Amino acid sequence: MSGRIPPVLRPEHPSARPIGGLVEEFGIEVAHGRTDGVEVTGITLATSDLQPGDLYVGIRGQHRHGAEFGAAAVEAGAVAILTDAAGAELASGLDVPVLVVDDPRAALGELAAWVYRTREEPPLLFGVTGTNGKTSTAYLLDGILRQLDLVTGLSSTAERKIGDLTVVSRLTTPEASEMHALLARMREAGVRAVAVEVSAQALSRHRVDGIVFDVAGFTNLSHDHLDDYADMEEYFQAKLPLFQPDRAKRGVVSLDSPYGERVVESARIPVTTISARPGVDAEWRVELTEEEPAFTGFRLTGPDGRSLTTRVPLIGWHMAANAGLALVMMVEAGFDLAVIEQALGETGIDAYLPGRTERVSGDRGPSVYVDFGHSADAFEQTLGAVRSFTTGRTIMVFGADGDRDATKRHEMARVAAEGCDVLVITDHHPRFEDPASIRATLLEGAALATNTPEIHEVSPPEAAIRVAVGLAKEGDSILWAGPGHQDYRDIRGVRTEYSAREEARAALREAGWPTR
């Protein structure tokens, strides 16, 4: 199942638009072919996703030019090709109109918005960016909006949701053509509000072009993605376009990391601030009121004496901070705080976050949490939250991504070792790297910690979680960080079916412990 690529959600009843209108609207050059009478109903970068009536966009890839697949696109039903000058040469023999722009990827968002008419009566749009907490904040937004009886849409690292329809995500933020198709499908379903997780790569690679968010939110910034960006400064700069007028109307910025102040300074839209850290001067504040194994209670206070007391069904101050950010984003969008508080009621925010400090263990035995965190900062926050409810030992299981930012591996392992009593180092997505070499680097990092936990190196992860459960006793906690919601492992380019949540449950059952 997990080996299959998740589907692209498109409108079920697309409206045809004339290619000639597209050419005229954007001043596009027609390299050859006639556009008279040609109508387009969709747009795509991938021949594997192409449907009859599509405009196929051929872009230059790392190894090949997309226009090389023009003939396959036409055979699959493409009615026209859009590409650059080099691609037009490759597509010159095709019996469809070939349109030329300087940078097809940069043009894709605006073209997709035109094809799918997504700027016509759009829903309320929320965009969330940052290193950690994007997914959680998006899910919390979705949950609160649902409690207000709105039909919602969600685009996150984990899932795409349209009302009650859910599919697994391919990328944190889909390509622009997929994003606009998703919004068009949401419009058909009567969706009134949408929460979108916006990665730095999405902004750098034009995946949210053609979209203006009603409210943009910033969570934090810490070491990550330096395989895509030269350094932290370049990574930070990639986030800033979301807080410009062509991307969003208003912003809410957390000051819980040092980069928050810089986002505020750089923003060219109205921005309000929030913090869950003591002593930080922010317009909105999050203060913890209760910390229990099943939830975290907090009070949100803001300007003009406004306040709300509620709880989130997750552990850790950082999850309360994410919930506070979601709530203030809604206030900035025009929702009344008192109305929100009434909708939340006594039980608080009703949201399920797959693979985000998700407890899979039952009422007896060790507590086992599966989490998607894959940075040193995420490890520190989540380990701290787990440790606060653990009467026995804290056991951590984790591995690191292959062919991704290797510069963070030592620090991830050091922080993991500092925060636990037992550390089990294993594999994650090795991709084309040698997993033994990745584990060796993590062992080096763990040795840098001032704390000296009991350390085990176990491969593969199916065995690692069983070793961790075998070491655990009643009152202990196990945090398995990295895999979270994912249902596959990437081994030499092959997606192998695999679920950390199910493996953890199986390990518990084998040891005689209940699960949930």
Full 3-state SS string of 61-107: CCCCEHHHHHHHHHHCCCCEEEECHHHHHHCCCCCCCEEECCCHHHH
Stretches where the chain sits below pLDDT 50 are: 1-3
Q: What are phi and psi of 255, to 5 degrees?
A: -100, 20
pLDDT, residue 2, reads: 38
Distance (Å, rounded) from C-alpha 299 to C-alpha 274?
12
pLDDT, residue 5, reads: 61
pLDDT, residue 459, reads: 97
Domain with CATH 3.40.1390.10 in the chain: 17-116
Q: What are phi and psi of 358, to 5 degrees?
A: -85, 120
pLDDT digits (tens, 9 = 90+) for 327-355: 999 999 999 999 999 999 999 999 988 88
Distance (Å, rounded) from C-alpha 201 to C-alpha 215?
19
Domain with CATH 3.90.190.20 in the chain: 358-510
pLDDT, residue 349, reads: 98
> Any residues with CB less than 8 A from the CB of 120 and at least 6 apart, and which?
none
Select from 156, 159, 157, 154 the least CA-distant residue to 193.
154
CATH code, 358-510: 3.90.190.20
Rounded to the nearest integer, the mean pLDDT of the chain is 94
CATH code, 124-344: 3.40.1190.10
17-116: CATH superfamily: MurE/MurF, N-terminal domain (3.40.1390.10)
Helix (H) or strand (E) holding 142: helix 134-147
